[in-house]
Chain A
Amino acid sequence: MSTQADDIDIGEEYKEKYGFSDDIKYLHTTKPGINEGVVREISKIKNEPEWMLNFRLKGLKHFQERPMPKWGANLGQIDFDNITYYMSPSEKSETSWEDVPEGIRKTFDRLGIPEAEKKFLGGVGAQYESEVVYHSLRKDLEEKGVIFLGMDQALKEHPDIVKKWFAKIIPINDNKFSALNTAAWSGGSFIYIPPGVKVDVPLQSYFRINAKNVGQFERTLIIADKGSSVHYVEGCTAPIYSTDSLHSAVVELIAMEDATIRYTTIQNWSNNVYNLVTKRGFAYKNATISWIDGNLGSKLTMKYPGVYLMEEGAKGEVLSVAFAGKGQHQDAGAKMVHMAPNTTSIITSKSVSKDGGRTTYRGLLEVDKGCHGIKSNVVCDALILDETSATDTFPYMNVNEQDVSIGHEASVNKVSDDQLFYLMSRGIEQSEAMAMIVRGFMEPFIKALPMEYAIELNRLIELNMEGSVG
Chain B
Amino acid sequence: MSKLEIKDLHVNVEEKEVLKGVNLTIEQGKIHALMGPNGSGKSTLSFAVMGHPKYEITKGEIIFDGKNVLDLAPEERARLGLFLSFQYPSEISGVSLSNFLRTALNSVKYTKEKRIPVMEFRKLLMEKMDLLKIDKSFASRYLNEGFSGGEKKRSEILQMAILEPKIAILDETDSGLDVDALKIVSNAVNTLAGPEMGILIITHYQRILHHVKPDVVHIMYDGRIVKTSGPELAMKIEDEGYDFIYKELEKEV
Contact = CB atoms under 8 A, between A and B. Distances in A.
A432 B108 CA distance: 13
A364 interface: no
Contacts of A437: 92, 95
B92 A427 contact: no
A427 B95 contact: no
A13 to B, nearest CB: 17
Contact of B79 (A418, A427, A439): A427
Contacts of A422: 86, 89-90, 92
* Most chain B CB within a 10 A radius of its CB, from A424, A427, A428: A427
Contacts of B86: 422, 425
A201 interface: no
Contact of B73 (A2, A432, A443): A2
Interface size class of A (residues with CB under 8 A): 20 to 34
Interface in B63-99: 71, 73-79, 83-84, 86, 89-90, 92-95
A192 interface: no
A424 B74 contact: yes
Nearest to B142: A440
B111 to A, nearest CB: 12
Given A427-B78, A436-B95, A416 B103 contact: no
Contact of A428 (B53, B104, B142): B104
B73 A430 contact: yes
A4 B73 contact: yes
Given A422-B86, A437-B92, A439-B95, A429 B53 contact: no
A146 to B, nearest CB: 36
Contacts of B104: 426-428
Nearest to B145: A440
Contact of B53 (A417, A426, A436, A439): A417
A3 B143 CA distance: 23
Interface string B134-145: 000000001100
B159 interface: yes
B100 interface: yes
A423 B92 contact: yes
Contacts of B6: none
A421 B74 contact: yes
A433 to B, nearest CB: 8
Contacts of B53: 1, 417, 421
A422 B142 CA distance: 15
B21 to A, nearest CB: 25
B200 interface: no
B90 A424 contact: no
A327 interface: no
Interface string B110-143: 0000000000000000000000000000000011
Interface residues of B, number: 31
B236 interface: no
* Most chain A CB within a 10 A radius of its CB, from B52, B74, B84, B103: B74
Nearest to B79: A427
Nearest to A446: B94
Nearest to A350: B94
Contact of A440 (B54, B95, B163): B95
B226 to A, nearest CB: 28
Interface in A413-457: 416-419, 421-430, 432, 436-437, 439-444
A427 B163 contact: yes
Contacts of A442: 94
B73 A424 contact: yes
B107 interface: yes
Given A425-B50, A440-B94, A3 B73 contact: yes
A437 B99 CA distance: 12
* Most chain B CB within a 10 A radius of its CB, from A416, A417, A425, A443: A425
Contacts of A419: 90, 92
A425 B84 contact: yes
Given A4-B73, A425-B84, A432-B107, A416 B94 contact: no
A4 to B, nearest CB: 7
A7 to B, nearest CB: 15
Contact of B94 (A1, A423, A428, A444): A444
Contacts of B75: 4, 424-430
Interface of A: 1-4, 416-419, 421-430, 432, 436-437, 439-444
Q: 10 closest A-B pairs (Cβ-Cβ)?
A: A440-B94, A443-B94, A427-B107, A427-B108, A427-B78, A440-B95, A426-B104, A424-B74, A422-B90, A419-B90
21 contacts: A1-B53, A3-B73, A416-B90, A417-B54, A419-B92, A422-B89, A422-B90, A422-B92, A424-B78, A425-B50, A425-B74, A425-B77, A425-B78, A426-B108, A430-B73, A430-B75, A436-B100, A437-B95, A440-B93, A440-B94, A440-B142
Given A417-B52, A427-B78, A428-B107, 9 more contacts: A1-B73, A423-B92, A425-B84, A427-B163, A432-B107, A436-B92, A437-B92, A440-B94, A444-B94
